[in-house]
Amino acid sequence: MTAEQPSGHIWQPEHLRLAMKAAGVALWAWNVDTDLLTMDARGFELWGMAWSDSVTFEELSSHIHPADRDRVRAAFAATRAVLGDYETDFRILIGDEVRWIAARGQGEDVGIVGRTMFGIFLDVTGRKQAEEGHELLAGEMSHRVKNLLAIASGLTTITSRSATSIGDMATELTGRLTALGRAHDLVRPLSAGQGAAALLGDLLSILLAPYDDLGAFKGRIRVAVERAGIGESAATGIALVIHELATNSMKYGALSEPTGTLDITSATETDHIVLTWLERGGPAVIAPATPAGFGSQLVQRTVSGQLGGSIRYDWSEGGLIVTLRIKRSRLAL
């Protein structure tokens, strides 16, 4: 049995076209002498270009992401020296949209006809985004575990100084670690159907409760924000940001000192709510000289993407001041 399949049907050109369309396959042909490429309609659609009989490689490569352009040009130039199948992945820009494309074909003139090589383009954006999501999640989990270990170590040290007996130390440390666990629960996404997570002020108070009595007096953390309800997605994003700021404050900022204080207040703009994080009474702070670490990058990504806002740090003489702007329309999500 050759062309006829087990089902009894014979493959027709129209069947092949339907299969290619379903798979999102775009065909290309490259004349190695003239450097012209021809593509099917799916190819021009994939690249966000108007249909034409042919396109030069330079015209096509102008749509490639600048960070990938030289690599892709070199890869295409080297295909004739590659033995057998080859594949290269790269990004293209369609306005503000970024797409990932996989180019596949055969090198070393395999299958060359009339000085023309053939291959396909595939849109692999979904796969690449999933891979990036997995990498981000793995990095985030590693970062959180390291932070929690550092906080647990700090809690143990502080509790050992204030406790009058081993029993008191065990009781206080257990209570503080339990409170920290409740706060950390708010940093992970809530299950579907749980509804609005909390009022903004309640959420901030719960997140910061584990750090409140670690100094010379209870009540050194003060929260005074407007009464605003927040949805599940916004609660997760805000919790992640506050948890990161509090962790850094306990390690390096005002919360690392017994008399250090933290005030969180809010101001209202037309489209945004503005939270101000004000630390006082801690060690002198200076702006970091090294590039932002994973925690800072995660905060920036969360604030700009999930919360639709911005975050600004002011390493003032009296202590760190953080201004967090959150798009009001995102609070209910």
Q: Domains of the chain, with CATH numbers?
A: 13-123 (3.30.450.20), 128-331 (3.30.565.10)
- Which H or E run contains 243? helix 232-252
Q: In Å, how far are 70, 137, 194, 255 from 232, measured between CA atoms?
A: 43, 19, 8, 28
* Strand 221-224 relative to strand 261-268, pairing: parallel
Q: 217 φ, ψ to 5°?
A: -150, 155
Q: Residue 304 above 90 pLDDT?
A: no
pLDDT value at position 1?
Answer: 43
pLDDT tens profile 147-175? 666 666 666 665 665 566 777 667 666 65
The per-residue pLDDT for range 64-93, each reduced to its tens digit, is 888 888 888 777 766 665 555 677 788 888
3-state SS assignment for residue 272 = strand
CA atoms of 293 and 246, how far apart (whole Å): 16
Report pLDDT for 323. 94
In whole angstroms, what is the distance from residue 309 CA to residue 327 CA? 6
What is the pLDDT, as a whole number, of residue 280?
93
Among 39-43, 98-102, 127-131, 258-262, the least confident range: 127-131
Q: Give me the amino acid identity at 78.
A: A
Please state whether the predicted TM-score (pTM) of the whole model is above 0.95. Answer: no
The proportion of the chain whose per-residue pLDDT surpasses 70, expressed as a percent, equals: 64
Backbone angles phi, psi at 332, to 5 degrees: -85, -5
Q: Which residue has the higher pLDDT, 280 or 107?
A: 280
36-39: strand order across its sheet? 55-56, 36-39, 25-31, 116-123, 97-107, 84-94
**CA-to-CA dists, residue 17 to 9, 44, 103, 116, 213, angstroms:** 16, 16, 19, 21, 69
